[in-house]
Structure 1
Amino acid sequence: MAANRKLLAVAVVCAAAVIGVTGCSSDSGDKDPFDGMSADKIADKASKASKDAGSYTMNGQMKQGGQTSDIEFAVAKSGDCKGTMGSAKSGKAEFLSVGEFQYSKGDDKFWDAKGGGSTAELLKGRWVKQPNQSGKPICNPDDMFSNKNLKNLKREDDAEVDGKKAAVLTRTKKDETTTFYVAMEGKPYFLKVVNKGKDGPGTVTFKDYGKAVEVKAPPADQVVDPKKLGSTS
């Protein structure tokens, strides 16, 4: 999966994504805080600033397998995170990543798609617990905002994201174009990423950088070990 696309995919499954930067505060007013910088250097600054913020929220939409899913995540400085994803057609689910484990709780449509009606009935109102493959929080900011693949970008005309002025950077690879919006006022955080192409098109917006996010594991009596599903169904 291409790095620029990975950022969107991570938002959906709370896996590792794509951006990186060296933090700084920009000047206010009409002055261009990135005057004389290459697009790659701007992206590098955005990556470090976003990573250094520690916590943030992101939301948007992504299309996979012909279906569009709404996504929303809040990420803590520790790398723990919580969020929701899904659609009216495929069902919706809540997700938590706490320490070495991740938890998911879906509605009937979500579990029907995963394992049929018996699974949906067994898991109604309960969380499924699984270990993280990496053994660490899957929303780790070092992974989420890695800048190693943000290369060969081009700066376009500036734009606005939710009323905030943003530098617009694009990357085109074959039939896929990814557009990154970087704040021009205050710290150069990533404000939005838009991916257009055949594989994983979607849009994610970022906000609330640096605001505390609390993520707790669900109560033990609401958690199901997937290894026990076969014996209890």
Structure 2
Amino acid sequence: MKNLKGSALLLSATAGVLLALTGCASVSDKPAGTTSAGAENTPEAVQITVPDATEVFPKTVATMDKASSVTLNGDISSGSESAKIMLSGNKDGSNTKATITTKDGTLDLLIVDGDNYLKADKKFLAKTAGEEAADMLATLAGDKWISVKDASQFGNFNLGSMLESFGTDKMVKVEAPKVTAKSLEDLNGVKTFKYVGDKTNFWIAAEGEPYLLQVEGTGSAKEATGTMTFSDWNAVEPHKAPATTEVISIPGL
């Protein structure tokens, strides 16, 4: 099954899109520690002042640095490449679940305590291993997970690496000085500070810890555009390995 390892070519572009965006998202879940309880009883006279990006961004980077887990959902594109991505788990990558959909198919990866599992649709298998091998794999695996020795052959989707791409040099030194507008916005019940940048917009929790909740790439079609959602900060439940009856091993993988 050597051809299947060529799937890294399919997903390397996806990882590149992720890193190029500096992040992209839309808020869907309240982050741990953030609440809007009682907001409806807050007097209208009480105003929240939106701080400068140069003040908030360093604090946001610090919360990301100390975070233990997070869920990321994205719908992003860069040039001719596009992907829908979900990553959820801890930062060191030892417990991670990922779903990646591109024009060449859908891939699910599960990493638990050093063991790697894969599920892929026939379109993905055909693209990466050929039609004949795809038919065989689909017949052998069915709905079961396929045990794989090395998940990195399918790309680097380590959450720690993703968060590092929003690090001090990028977000604080590069993005904060480019912010041209700021406002207070309510997104699905969560008060956020919105910062409009040159080609990137940021939404940061306005109450509790200043978690990064949303980033939106607004460049041209040739550049990284789209949205990514960050949720479940420090609150992702550990993913469990599938039962042995739900796993199949295939020589060469």
Same fold (TM over 0.5): yes
Q: Which residue in 2 is equivalent to 1:63?
A: 77
Tell me the secondary structure at the aligned position of residue 73 of structure 1. strand
Tell me the secondary structure at the aligned position of residue 156 of structure 1. strand
**1:101 CA displacement:** 6.9
Written as runs of structure 1 = structure 2, the 5 A alignment for 1:146-165 is 146-150=167-171, 151=174, 152-154=177-179, 155-165=181-191
Q: Which residue in 2 is equivalent to 1:130?
A: 150
Q: 1:153 touches 1:169 (CA, 8 Å); kept in 2?
A: no
**1:205 CA displacement:** 0.8
**Larger Rg: 1 or 2?**
2
**1:132 CA displacement:** 4.1
Q: Which residue in 2 is equivalent to 1:107?
A: 121
Q: Which residue in 2 is equivalent to 1:32?
A: 48
Tell me the secondary structure at the aligned position of residue 59 of structure 2. helix
Whole-Å separation in 2 of the counterparts to 1:78 and 1:168? 29
**Bigger CA drift: 58-67 or 137-146?**
137-146
Give ranges in structure 1 of 5+ residues lacking alignment: 12-23
Written as runs of structure 1 = structure 2, the 5 A alignment for 1:178-197 is 178-197=200-219
Q: 2:226 aligns with which of 196, 202, 205?
A: 202
Q: Which residue in 1 is equivalent to 2:159?
A: 139
Matched, 1:83 2:98: yes
Residues matched between the structures, number: 203
Quickly say closer, same or farther: Cα 1:211–1:144, change in 2 above 3 A: farther
Q: CA RMSD in A?
A: 3.6
Q: 1:104 touches 1:127 (CA, 8 Å); kept in 2?
A: yes
Whole-Å separation in 1 of the counterparts to 2:57 and 2:63? 10
Quickly say closer, same or farther: Cα 1:104–1:65, change in 2 above 3 A: farther
**What TM-score, normalized by structure 2, do the two folds share?**
0.64
Q: 1:103 touches 1:130 (CA, 8 Å); kept in 2?
A: no
Matched, 1:53 2:34: no
Quickly say closer, same or farther: Cα 1:6–1:97, change in 2 above 3 A: farther
**1:192 CA displacement:** 0.7
What's the CA shift string for 1:50-101, capped at 9, x where partnerless?
A: 33231121213112564643222212254332121215x5321102345667
Quickly say closer, same or farther: Cα 1:73–1:123, change in 2 above 3 A: same
Quickly say closer, same or farther: Cα 1:112–1:131, change in 2 above 3 A: closer
Q: 1:178 touches 1:196 (CA, 8 Å); kept in 2?
A: yes
What percentage of residue pairs aligned between the two structures are identical?
26
Tell me the secondary structure at the aligned position of residue 215 of structure 1. coil
Quickly say closer, same or farther: Cα 1:96–1:200, change in 2 above 3 A: farther
**1:191 CA displacement:** 0.8
Tell me the secondary structure at the aligned position of residue 148 of structure 1. helix
What's the CA shift string for 1:172-230, capped at 9, x where partnerless?
A: 2xxxx1111100011110111111222332211111112143135565952446xx26x
Whole-Å separation in 1 of the counterparts to 2:168 and 2:250? 37
Whole-Å separation in 1 of the counterparts to 2:211 and 2:239? 23
Give ranges in structure 2 of 5+ residues lacking alignment: 1-15, 26-32
Written as runs of structure 1 = structure 2, the 5 A alignment for 1:206-217 is 206-216=230-240
Q: Quick one: which amino acid aligns to residue 32 of structure 1?
A: I
Q: Higher helix fraction: Structure 1 or Structure 2?
A: 2
Higher RCO (CA 8 Å, separation ≥ 6 residues)? 2
Quickly say closer, same or farther: Cα 1:64–1:4, change in 2 above 3 A: closer
**What TM-score, normalized by structure 1, do the two folds share?**
0.69
Tell me the secondary structure at the aligned position of residue 167 of structure 1. strand
